[in-house]
């Protein structure tokens, strides 16, 4: 296997995204029909690049009969977005239509009538000249004034894959698809972190987000912003133009036992992440007096009360006897890195934490990766024990649900009123679980998602699945999206159970079972379809590549593929952490939607 070597885990500062976030999600079917209609992607090649200065900015445009005016300016973080400032004599609401040939972008009407609006224009494509129609409306929704302007988009100054895009528009869920991707074993000139884009229903890029550091698990918030982890030390909230509006970081001080050289490397790697971009708000420190938080990774999740959940880590010393039992013959004096779920308020106050060290017994559940012979999860100082990669809040159960990859467990933790350290377990689904499962267990899973009926969707990577072998033609490993119903309403936990109700498996491009040994995502869409991100496909002898599909679920297994995006080849290998389908890039109370 082609793994980078992890030398230290705040390091986590030194881990590239293909490590903790990407490759760090690795170790070690039935073929569904493809839709017929296809649309080729027109992404520019590597030579067609430009920075944001290639876009055009307008002079203020005056209306004929009054002092109303509009100014359209490029934005610092995306060459395919603009900011329109609209000033009117009388308070009004504003809507904008951007037109370039047959491509039309409709900006929703603002929800509040005022004399001055700052309106993001997103959804435009690269290298086009857009004519803008700006309508001013009264409270009755009548257009009382129309202004015009123009804006020319530039090209994304970043290497982009060659996308193979296929869609059945009659059955696919309309909207834009956020795709987070990066290079596997990137070249030296690859900028740090992932690229985050959104594709429209024709496979064209219509949104782009860039910032220092590695972002991931990008999701909209109820207020219309986006939330993301900011690996390896923070959480970022940003608007659709990429402006950071919320900035949270744990203490990034490297461990005391690092050598001087390794400490210097860690500090150097963290510097651009901690600095951020000019104009970013100062980071709010995330600290808990009862546990040392050493990272932020994999996911940040907005709770309904405005608090935020995030995944962190801390280290625990092991006895010589424990180390020998976990890794026989290994004389290294290593500690165990456990995951810590953190709940904090918007002002940065840490309210509660759940340390998996207090939830799982490492002596009976040492996980599968602490003695990784390839060195991906082991270092001189500590070993990655649980490797949580998803955290969500279940309001109906009032529970925190997490995915612990290295112990092959999905764990529901009680969300108690008490503050401080928490350790109350509701149930565990998976290896050494507390509830029986009718169906196949998940292995090294990712991206737990709660369904409206309380069931759980996840991406089951299948690493080390019993009965499968990497070199076996008869029983090869496979990955799948899977849905489990959870029956835990009885007053007696002995009556609780889980049942597998649906799964989806497909063959890869080589005709063998698709196996993505790291990364992955599975989401229910508004029309009931499932969006599946096979984000790290690598069957040992092939190249690392990505396949994201939308399927119409059928019965207990399978379903027709109605949307497909594939990228990555032997020359340029790619991975994708997650994919998310949004109805629109505009959401929240600022718009009449």
Question: Residue 86: which H helix or E strand, with range?
Answer: strand 78-100
- One domain, residues 360 and 420: yes
- One domain, residues 112 and 243: no
- One domain, residues 144 and 166: no
Which of 182-196, 238-252, 487-501 is modeled with the greatest confidence? 487-501
Evaluate if residue 30 carries a pLDDT over 80: no
Q: How far, rounded to the nearest angstrom, does the alpha carbon of residue 99 sit from its chain's CA centroid?
A: 31
- One domain, residues 89 and 236: no
What is the residue-wise DSSP string for 110-163? ESS-EEEEEEEE--PPTT-EEEEEEEEE-TTS-EEEEEEEEEE----SS-----
Q: Is the peptide bond preceding residue 323 cis, with omega within 30 degrees of 0?
A: no
Evaluate if residue 115 carries a pLDDT over 70: yes
Tell me if 506 is assigned to some domain.
yes
- Average pLDDT on 289-302 reads 95
Rounded to the nearest 5°, which phi and psi values hold at 303?
Answer: -90, 155
- One domain, residues 216 and 99: no
Tell me if 135 is assigned to some domain.
yes
pLDDT at 208: 95
pLDDT at 264: 76
- One domain, residues 491 and 433: yes
Evaluate if residue 39 carries a pLDDT over 60: no
pLDDT at 321: 96
Q: The domain that contains 328 carries what CATH number?
A: 2.120.10
pLDDT at 44: 39
Cα–Cα dist 264/337, whole Å:
22
**Lowest mean pLDDT, pick from 64-73, 259-268, 299-308, 419-428:** 259-268
pLDDT at 10: 35
Half-sphere exposure of 17 (CA within 13 A, CB side): 30
**Phi/psi-derived region of residue 123, left when phi > 0, alpha when psi is between -120 and 50, beta in every other case:** left
**Banded pLDDT at 12 (limits 50, 70, 90):** very low
Tell me if 365 is assigned to some domain.
yes
Tell me if 46 is assigned to some domain.
no
Cα–Cα distances in angstroms (integers) from residue 574 to residues 14, 71, 308, 546, 571, in the given order: 20, 39, 30, 7, 10
Rounded to the nearest 5°, which phi and psi values hold at 391?
Answer: -150, 135
Tell me if 180 is assigned to some domain.
yes
Evaluate if residue 40 carries a pLDDT over 70: no
Q: The domain that contains 76 carries what CATH number?
A: 2.60.40.10
**Domain end call among 98, 123, 152:** 152
pLDDT at 61: 55
pLDDT at 148: 97
**Banded pLDDT at 471 (limits 50, 70, 90):** confident
Q: Domain residues for 118? A: 53-152
- One domain, residues 145 and 228: no
- One domain, residues 583 and 557: yes
pLDDT at 491: 96
**Lowest mean pLDDT, pick from 368-372, 568-572, 576-580:** 368-372
Instruction: Collect contacts of 333-336 with beta carbons under 8 A, ≥24 apart.
Output: 334/378, 334/379, 334/380, 334/381, 334/382, 334/383, 335/381, 335/382, 335/383, 336/362, 336/370, 336/382, 336/383, 336/385
Evaluate if residue 19 carries a pLDDT over 50: no
The whole-chain average pLDDT of the chain stands at 87
Q: Report yes or no: 536 and 520 within 8 Å, Cβ to Cβ.
A: yes
- One domain, residues 162 and 32: yes
Q: How many CB atoms lie within 10 A of CB 170?
A: 8
Q: Which two tokens stand for residue 362?
A: 């490492």
**pTM reported for the whole predicted model:** 0.89
**Domain end call among 106, 125, 152:** 152
| 243-284: pLDDT as tens digits | 999 999 998 666 565 667 766 777 777 777 777 788 889 999
- One domain, residues 119 and 166: no
| 130-145: pLDDT as tens digits | 999 999 999 889 999 9
**Banded pLDDT at 3 (limits 50, 70, 90):** very low
Tell me if 79 is assigned to some domain.
yes
pLDDT at 189: 77
pLDDT at 426: 98
Cα–Cα dist 22/300, whole Å:
16
**Lowest mean pLDDT, pick from 52-61, 160-169, 279-288, 316-325:** 52-61
Evaluate if residue 442 carries a pLDDT over 60: yes
pLDDT at 253: 66
Q: How far, rounded to the nearest angstrom, does the alpha carbon of residue 548 sit from its chain's CA centroid?
A: 14
Q: What is the total count of domains within the chain?
A: 2
Question: Residue 409: which H helix or E strand, with range?
Answer: strand 409-414
Tell me if 6 is assigned to some domain.
no
pLDDT at 65: 53
- One domain, residues 181 and 131: no
| 510-563: pLDDT as tens digits | 888 999 999 999 999 999 999 999 999 986 667 999 999 999 999 999 999 999
Evaluate if residue 574 carries a pLDDT over 50: yes
Q: How far, rounded to the nearest angstrom, does the alpha carbon of residue 189 sit from its chain's CA centroid?
A: 23
Evaluate if residue 79 carries a pLDDT over 50: yes
- One domain, residues 421 and 492: yes
| 309-366: pLDDT as tens digits | 999 999 999 999 999 999 999 888 889 999 999 999 999 999 999 999 999 999 999 9
Tell me if 359 is assigned to some domain.
yes
Cα–Cα dist 445/407, whole Å:
10
What contacts 78, CB < 8 A, 6 or more positions away? Answer: 52, 122, 156, 207, 208, 209, 210, 241, 242
pLDDT at 324: 95
Strand-pair partners of 131: 99, 150
**Lowest mean pLDDT, pick from 67-71, 75-79, 201-205:** 67-71
Q: pLDDT above 90 covers what percent of the chain?
A: 73
From 298, 97, 308, select the one nearest 216 (Cα to Cα). 298
**E strand residue ranges, 252-387:** 284-286, 296-302, 308-316, 335-344, 350-355, 382-384
Residues 300, 303, 305: CA angle, nearest 5 degrees: 145
pLDDT at 260: 75
**Domain end call among 124, 152, 180:** 152
């Amino acid at each position: 296997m082609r793994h980078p070597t992890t030398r230290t885990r705040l390091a986590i500062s030194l881990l590239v995204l293909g490590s903790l976030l990407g490759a760090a999600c690795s170790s070690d079917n039935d073929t569904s029909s493809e839709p017929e209609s296809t649309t080729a992607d027109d992404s520019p090649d590597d030579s067609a690049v430009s920075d944001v200065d290639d876009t055009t900015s307008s002079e203020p445009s005056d209306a004929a009969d009054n002092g109303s005016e509009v100014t359209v300016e490029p934005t610092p973080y995306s060459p395919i977005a603009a900011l329109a400032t609209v000033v009117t004599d009388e308070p009004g609401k504003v809507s904008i239509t951007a037109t370039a040939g047959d491509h039309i972008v409709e900006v929703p009407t603002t929800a509040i009538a005022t004399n001055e609006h700052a309106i993001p224009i997103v959804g435009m494509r690269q290298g086009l000249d857009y004519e803008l129609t700006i309508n001013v409306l009264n409270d009755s929704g009548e257009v009382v004034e129309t202004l015009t302007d123009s804006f020319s988009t530039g090209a994304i100054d970043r290497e982009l894959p060659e996308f193979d895009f296929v869609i059945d528009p009659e059955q696919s869920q309309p909207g834009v698809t956020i795709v987070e991707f990066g290079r596997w074993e990137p070249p030296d000139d690859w900028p740090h972190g992932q690229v985050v884009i959104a594709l429209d229903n024709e496979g064209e890029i219509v949104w782009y987000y860039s910032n220092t550091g590695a972002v991931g698990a990008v999701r909209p918030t109820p207020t219309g912003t986006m939330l993301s982890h900011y690996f390896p030390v923070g959480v970022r909230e940003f608007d659709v133009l990429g402006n950071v509006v919320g900035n949270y970081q744990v203490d990034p001080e490297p461990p005391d036992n690092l050598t001087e050289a390794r400490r210097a490397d860690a500090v150097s790697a963290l510097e651009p992440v901690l600095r951020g971009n000019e104009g970013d708000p100062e980071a709010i420190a995330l600290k808990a007096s009862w546990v040392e938080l050493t990272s932020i990774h994999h996911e940040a999740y907005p709770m309904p009360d405005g608090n935020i959940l995030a995944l962190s880590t801390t280290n625990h010393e092991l006895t010589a006897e424990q180390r020998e039992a976990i890794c026989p013959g290994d004389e290294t004096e290593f500690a165990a890195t456990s995951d810590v779920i953190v709940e904090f308020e918007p002002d940065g106050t840490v309210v509660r934490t759940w340390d998996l060290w207090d939830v799982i017994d490492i002596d009976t559940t040492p996980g599968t990766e602490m003695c990784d012979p390839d060195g991906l999860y082991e270092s001189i100082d500590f070993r990655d024990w649980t490797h949580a990669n998803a955290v969500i809040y279940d309001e109906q159960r009032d529970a925190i649900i997490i995915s612990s990859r290295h112990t092959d467990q999905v764990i529901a933790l009680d969300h108690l009123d008490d503050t401080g350290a928490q350790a109350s377990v509701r149930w565990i689904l998976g290896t050494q679980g507390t509830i029986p499962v009718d169906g196949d267990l998940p292995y090294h899973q990712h991206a737990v998602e709660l369904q409206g009926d309380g069931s759980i969707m996840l991406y089951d990577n299948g690493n080390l699945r019993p009965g499968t072998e990497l070199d076996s033609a008869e029983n090869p490993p496979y990955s799948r999206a899977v849905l489990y119903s959870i029956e835990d309403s009885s007053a007696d936990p002995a009556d609780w159970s889980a049942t597998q109700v649906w799964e989806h498996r497909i063959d890869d491009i080589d005709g063998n079972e698709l196996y993505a040994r790291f990364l992955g995502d599975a989401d229910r869409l508004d029309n009931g379809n499932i969006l599946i991100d096979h984000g790290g496909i690598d069957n040992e002898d092939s190249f690392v590549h990505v396949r994201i599909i939308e399927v119409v679920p059928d019965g207990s297994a399978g379903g027709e593929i109605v949307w497909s995006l594939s990228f990555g080849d032997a020359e340029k290998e790619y991975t994708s952490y997650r994919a998310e389908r949004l109805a629109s890039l505009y959401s929240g109370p600022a718009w009449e939607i």
